[in-house]
Structure 1
Amino acid sequence: MLAELSPALTAEVQRAAKLLASKQRICLLTGAGISAESGIPTFRDKQTGLWENYAAEDLATPDAFARDPKLVWSWYQWRRQLVADKTPNPAHDALAQWQYHTQSSDQQLTLITQNVDDLHEQAGSTVIHLHGNLWRNRCSQCETPYQSQSRDSYSSEDSSEDSIDFNEGLIDCPHCDGYIRPDIVWFGESLPAQAWQAAEEAAANCEVFISIGTSSLVYPAAGLAQLAKQNGAKIIEINPDPTPNTIVDITLAEKAGVIMPLLIQQITAL
């Protein structure tokens, strides 16, 4: 399969595989690009249908929810419909395979995502979510999790799309009567403290940091690669449109779904 790549990219994949196979502590950060390969629109893509006159940045805020909770809730129910039938792609599967492989090796693999979908979990990975989870909800007032709207209960045992309830009616919190909202980090909100602390520790202590499908421009997550670099880690970027980032040691300019299976194949063979 390496023969499908250009000679230069093949050499870089092999160089990355040798580096990764020789190190113990690996930290990975995934962004919108890996989900886009499964057909999930990126957050900054132009909206369609009923939502084409709205900008995502104007809906994903606490102020927007306070001003018009029905509008914001309806938008998120629409977003859930967009991703309900999406499945992991080869990049998600390869990462899950690698994580499983490390259970019987000396490697420590920490997977962090900026994405709010659950494709990593569907593939079998354990992942730290920095920006929340699209399939979870909590109260906008008391912040109590509202489990009955999680993906597990959205869907039946066969997880068919038809079994998912996308009702746009607002839900009252059973504890304080506040409105239930998506458990997503909105503009102007802090990242979840526990997830961010785990991500920072993994980045600071890793020997190799891999950025997959992310522009590395959205902070604070973009600072993780810099933190890793400052502590002596090598940086690998996997992105068909590489960022002009001077801290990157190895650039693999191709889709994650192409690179990750080849990379994991090489690593596990070494």
Structure 2
Amino acid sequence: MSILMGYITVMTDSLATSIATLQEMVHAADVVVGFTGAGISTESGVPDFRSPNSPWMRNRPIPFDVFVQSLDARREAWRRKFIMDDLYRDARPSQGHLGIAALIASGRMPAVITQNIDGLHQASGLADHQVIELHGNGTYAKCLQCGRRYELGWVRACFEASGDPPDCEACGGIIKSATISFGQAMPEDPVRRAQNLTLNCDLCLVVGSSLVVYPAAAFPVIAKENGAKLVIINREPTPLDGIADHVIRAEIGLVLSAFIPRN
């Protein structure tokens, strides 16, 4: 039995060997790029989108074009947003997040590319520039017209007081959660940074992603085709397991705890 950073588990010889192999691959690499998906945050209590009975299925995000065109849709979008926020407001970074933060602190990983919108990578100690958010960030809001940032507490207070979401105080534009909704264009700067990092890494470490959401899931493929090693850590099989150099199916926090310095 092994006790590792809060985990109590029976670690099989094969899992211990897999983790050791991962450590060797990371230490042999000059540039590691991290690519994270929902699985790293489910260990923090954040529900993922595709699991059976997921609360996201009951509170589906409103498509971008509908959100922009309809005040009723915006009311409903914010109502659903605040329901979901309440479900994981107490979420804290998992051991997986801390493992990624440790890899970045070591200098081996310049930044992490993430599909997540929960801000837990920043909460683990990473600076904004060390987190490349392909799908935006759900911890604040922005005006779609002028880009002014708004804190969610203010948006919620206005919404609950009047029944309508507020307009931008600067330009009168529509305020929206700073996430990338279905039908909304991917953010140019994060996509460009992700592509550059992917093309310059020699190890791509995919953590907790189902690798079915495109175009984001194309980045590990780009890395592999450009000559990088590909490692996938996920509890379930992914479509890219067949081209990966190393696959670990285990609890993410348990695996990445191996990179957290011991006091």
Q: TM-score, normalised by structure 2?
A: 0.84
Counterpart amino acid of 1:183? A
Q: Does 1:61 align with 2:64?
A: yes
Aligned partners of 2:68 and 2:78: how far apart in 1?
8
Q: Which residue of 2 aligns with 1:158?
A: none
**Which has the larger displacement, 2-11 or 80-89?**
2-11
Q: Which residue of structure 1 lines up, in the alignment, with residue 166 of structure 2?
A: 171
2:193 aligned to which of 178, 191, 198: 198
> Corresponding residue for 2:254?
258
Identify unmatched segments of 5+ residues in structure 2: none
CA distance in 1, matches of 2:110, 2:15: 24
The answer to whether the aligner puts 1:120 opposite 2:121 as a matched pair is: yes
Q: In the alignment, does 2:22 pair up with 1:21?
A: no
1:12 CA displacement: 1.6
1:166 Cα offset (Å)? 8.6
C-alpha separation between the residues in 1 aligned to 2:202 and 2:16?
Answer: 22
CA contact (8 A) 1:65 1:72 kept: no
Closer, same or farther: CA 11–166 of 1 in aligned 2, 3 Å: farther
Secondary structure in 1 aligned to 2:86? Answer: helix
Name the structure 1 match of 2:147. 144
Where does residue 36 of structure 2 map in the other structure? 30
- Give the letter aligned to residue 86 of structure 2: Q
The answer to whether the Cα contact below 8 Å between 1:60 and 1:72 also exists between their aligned partners in 2 is no
Q: What do residues 129-184 of structure 1 show as CA deviations (whole Å, max 9, x unaligned)?
A: 110110121123x142233x15xxx49xxxxxxxx959444111123322311111
In structure 2, C-alpha distance between the alignment counterparts of 1:166 and 1:11, rounded to whole Å: 54
8 Å CA contact 2:59–2:84 kept in 1: the answer is no
**Which range is displaced more, 121-130 or 92-101?**
92-101
RMSD, aligned CA = 2.4
**Aligned with 1:95: secondary structure?**
helix
Q: Distance in 2 between matches of 1:97 and 1:166?
A: 39
* CA distance in 2: counterparts of 1:20 and 1:166, whole angstroms: 48
Unaligned runs of at least 5 residues, structure 1: 156-163
With 76-85 and 14-23 compared, the bigger mean Cα shift is at: 76-85
What residue number does 2:82 align with? 77
- The number of aligned residues is 245
Change (3 A) 1:166 1:8: farther
Letter matched to residue 133 of structure 2: H
Distance 1:60 1:35 in 2: 23
Give the Cα separation in 2 of the matches to 1:166 and 1:261. Answer: 42
Q: 1:7 to 1:165 in 2, by over 3 A?
A: farther
Name the CA distance, whole Å, in 2 between partners of 1:42 and 1:208: 26
Q: What whole-Å deviation, never above 9, does each CA across 1:28-52 have from its counterpart, x for those lacking one?
A: 110011111111111234455xx87
Whether the aligned pair in 1 keeps the contact of 2:44 and 2:92 (CA below 8 Å) is yes
Aligned partners of 2:159 and 2:166 also within 8 Å: no
Give distance in 2, aligned partners of 1:146 and 1:172.
12
* 1:81-92 map, 5 Å: 81-92=86-97
Q: Distance in 2 between matches of 1:170 and 1:190?
A: 22
3-state SS in 2 of match to 1:109: coil
Q: What SS does the aligned partner of 1:56 have?
A: coil
> SS in structure 2 opposite 1:144?
coil
- The answer for the alignment partner of 2:49 in structure 1 is 43
Q: Is the CA contact (8 Å cut-off) linking 2:211 and 2:239 kept in structure 1?
A: no
Which whole-Å CA distance do the structure 1 matches of 2:239 and 2:215 have between them? Answer: 18
Secondary structure of 1:240's partner?
A: coil
CA gap of 1:47–1:232, structure 2 versus 1, over 3 A, is: closer
Paired amino acid for 2:204:
F
1:196 Cα deviation after fit:
0.5
| 1:189 corresponds to | 184
**C-alpha separation between the residues in 2 aligned to 1:166 and 1:25?**
46
- Work out the CA distance in 2 between the residues paired with 1:81 and 1:60: 21
